[in-house]
Amino acid sequence: MSNIVVAGAAGRMGRQLVRAILERKDLKLTGATEHPESPHLGTDAGLLVGNESLGVEIVPGIDSVIAPFDTVIDFTAPASTRALLKYAADQGTRVVIGTTGLDDNDQSLIKETAKKTSIVFAANYSVGVTLSLELLAHAARVLGPDYDIEVIEAHHKHKVDAPSGTALAMGHSIANAIGKDLKDCAVYAREGMTGARPEGTIGFSTVRAGEIIGEHTVLFVGQGEQLEVTHKATDRMTFARGAVRAAGWLASQADGLYDMADVVRPVS
């Protein structure tokens, strides 16, 4: 039995993570955190998701969790994730990270922390998206340089970062497959007299509207044909169940940095 803490438990994903943990018999929710100004501090995490009381009150930060735990699932904000990583490095706590908007320094901090504990870090915890990353890499290698590539993503109007972490992960998967660095070939904005499309670039388009949970389409456009790879999420529980699956899987892993592909990979 793994004891789990959900960081940001009162948020959109936090509540879904609590629900997903309650579906599992091999995991137990023993802690829930929120930011110090949250109006939900002191609320029982079970009542917050329409369940019966769990005896797990939402507290202001990981240092305030009293019950024993071994893994934290974190879908919060970069500043909160940085603080959690420092805690994990000191305490050896396992971490599943779904925070988006992390920069290069944050990525380096994750890698350093993974030398002292085990971490799963993925841009998207959907099994379907995990498979699509492999499909996109294969398509890019097979189709070659004669196909223009565009990544189109859509999310709800509350999302604060763009492009999405999943769109960037798709871009990285494609770029790596064809021997490029995404930093050198990505085009994130077009406006005015842009001129002809530069060869070998990967374009990104972003939509923010309503309550779209998450949609990603990659276009491979060649002479006389067009291939589209699309993933649409219709329920946030897809991501929550994937992250909770990762937390359960992480319990038996050695220290190191893993991604969702490691979690879903069949045991040979």
- Quote the longest CA-to-CA distance of the chain: 62
Q: What token pair was written down for 132?
A: 């699509």
User: In the chain, what is the straight-line distance between the N-terminal and C-terminal CA atoms, in Å?
Assistant: 24
Helices marked H in the chain: 12-22, 45-48, 78-91, 104-113, 127-143, 165-177, 182-185, 237-250, 260-264
Is the distance from CB of 57 to CB of 29 less than 8 angstroms?
A: no
Q: Which residues contact 151 (CB under 8 A, 6 or more apart)?
A: 163, 167, 170, 171, 202, 203, 204, 205, 216, 217, 218, 219
* 155 part of the active site: yes
Nearest to 232 by CA among 218, 220, 244: 218
* 156 part of the active site: no
Which of the residues 28, 35, 156, 159 is marked catalytic? 159
Which of the residues 116, 155, 157, 183 is marked catalytic? 155
In whole angstroms, give the CA distance from residue 60 to residue 41: 7
Handedness of CA 152, 169, 23, 211 (dihedral sign): negative
Give, as one character, the DSSP assignment of residue 195: -
Handedness of CA 125, 170, 136, 151 (dihedral sign): positive
Catalytic residue positions, numbered: 155, 159
